[in-house]
């Protein structure tokens, strides 16, 4: 069986191909350019690649039968005259796409719909496969949106978008930092979710405020959408009620700090994380890259090391840089130092594909 993984890096989009357990880079697109994220829309078969050209701004490309074409990147509407809004540093907030941080296809019943999360916090929706975009004003204009803050970046951003597989009008987004937001009317109105999370970096009166939560990544079990997993700035949290409430999973070795989380598509109790020494250092503990896996909803975790570097390794795995395929058996992740690993047995063993890619932003099964 042929499997393709799209690896977004600081210096290009690398296409990893796997056949009968052998993995190799078979193609490079946008070589030299900063590719920050991809989406494969399985409804249309098209791939999308977000690029950040720095000087020239954020761009979006869509695959064709022969290559790629540039399509419109989400753009903020004109800032109305007289509107003054500063970021958390007191600087005027630019209504301008600073990064594409989330791309998600809509439901099977709404072909052409694509959601896009950005820095500085705008959520966009396309109904024409990305030919055009419209900002979701109900969320951008929500008075509490101005309480969102930067987390990992100077500006707040939407990094996770989940579309309910049972009803595509129901969508969750997660913000770093700004917690989890939910719509059940395709974005016409929004409510905050995420009671039970805890922000140890916030003052006591805000510790349990859902808007103060720095969700690093939000993942959902496709077969049991009520089950959600959060890799948070200071821990792991799990929800069994569609993100309304969360319970903290504490005491996981070697750490509960990290960025990425993936959940098995059919087994809601099974999830994977890539732990790092919290928060001040952000390196693997003792120079060992490990993946942690729970199969019982967080009661216990396996520390998976087979095939992963166990000394002198300082790989960091960003929030979009781990992925699981539809089978639930195959996982892949990539690191800031250009390491790329694949497992075909749910993480029991890993194959190191390369250690020399540019810094990896995102890994996605195509």
Partner 1 sequence: MAKVVFTKNIQRHVVCPETEVPGSSVREILDNVFTANPQARSYVLDDQAALRRHMTIFVDGRAIRDRQRLSDSITSTSTVYVFQALSGG
Contacting residues toward partner 1, per CB under 8 A: 53-57, 59, 70, 73, 75-79, 94-97
- Residue 134's Cβ-side half-sphere holds a number of Cα atoms within 13 Å equal to 10
Residue 155 class from Cβ within 10 Å (0-12 exposed, 13-18 middle, 19+ buried)? buried
Distance CA 12, CA 17 (A): 16
Q: How far is the CB of 97 from partner 1 (least distance, A)?
A: 6
In the beta sheet, which residues pair with residue 41? 46
Length of the chain: 366
Q: How far is the CB of 259 from partner 1 (least distance, A)?
A: 24
Q: How far is the CB of 184 from partner 1 (least distance, A)?
A: 29
* Closer Cβ to partner 1, 67 or 204, answer by number: 67
Residue that is written with structure tokens 């790092």 in the block:
276
* Closer Cβ to partner 1, 192 or 336, answer by number: 336
Residue that is written with structure tokens 């209504």 in the block:
95
* Closer Cβ to partner 1, 30 or 115, answer by number: 30
Q: Is the dihedral of CA 90, 96, 100, 105 positive or negative?
A: positive
333 close to 291: Cβ distance less than 8 angstroms = yes
Q: How far is the CB of 91 from partner 1 (least distance, A)?
A: 12
Q: How far is the CB of 56 from partner 1 (least distance, A)?
A: 4
Q: How many CB atoms lie within 10 A of CB 269?
A: 17
* Closer Cβ to partner 1, 10 or 285, answer by number: 10
* Closer Cβ to partner 1, 98 or 353, answer by number: 98
């Amino acid at each position: 069986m042929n499997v393709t993984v799209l690896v977004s890096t600081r210096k290009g989009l690398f296409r990893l191909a796997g056949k009968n357990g052998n993995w190799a880079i078979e193609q490079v697109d946008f070589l030299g350019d900063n590719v920050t994220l991809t989406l494969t829309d399985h409804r249309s078969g098209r791939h999308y690649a977000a690029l950040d050209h720095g000087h020239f701004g954020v761009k979006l490309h869509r695959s064709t039968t022969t290559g790629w074409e540039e399509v419109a990147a989400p753009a903020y509407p004109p800032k109305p005259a007289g509107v003054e809004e500063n970021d958390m540093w007191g600087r005027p907030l630019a209504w301008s796409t600073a990064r594409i941080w989330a791309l998600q296809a809509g439901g099977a019943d709404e072909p052409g719909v694509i959601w896009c999360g950005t820095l500085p916090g705008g959520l966009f929706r396309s109904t024409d496969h990305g030919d055009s975009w419209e900002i979701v004003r109900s969320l951008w204009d929500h008075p509490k949106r101005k309480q969102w803050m930067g987390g990992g970046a100077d500006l707040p951003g939407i990094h996770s978008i989940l579309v309910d597989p049972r009803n595509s009008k129901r969508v969750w987004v997660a913000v770093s930092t700004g917690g989890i937001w939910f719509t059940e009317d395709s974005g016409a109105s929004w409510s905050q979710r995420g009671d039970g999370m805890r922000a140890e970096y916030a003052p006591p009166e805000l510790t349990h405020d859902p808007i103060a939560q720095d969700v690093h990544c939000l993942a959902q079990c496709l077969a049991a959408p009520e089950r959600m997993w959060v890799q948070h700035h200071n821990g792991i949290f799990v929800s069994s009620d569609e993100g309304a409430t969360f319970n903290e999973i504490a005491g996981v070795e070697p750490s509960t700090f990290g960025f990425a989380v993936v959940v098995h598509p059919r087994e809601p109790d099974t999830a994977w994380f890539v732990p790092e020494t919290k928060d001040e250092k952000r390196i693997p503990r003792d120079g060992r890259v490990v993946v942690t896996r729970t199969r019982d909803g967080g009661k216990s975790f396996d520390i998976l090391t087979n095939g992963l570097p166990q000394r002198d390794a300082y790989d960091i795995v960003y929030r979009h840089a781990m992925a699981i395929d539809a089978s639930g058996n195959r996982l892949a992740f990539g690191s800031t130092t250009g390491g790329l690993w694949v497992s075909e047995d749910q993480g029991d063993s890993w194959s190191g594909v390369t250690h020399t890619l540019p810094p990896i932003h995102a890994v996605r099964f195509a």
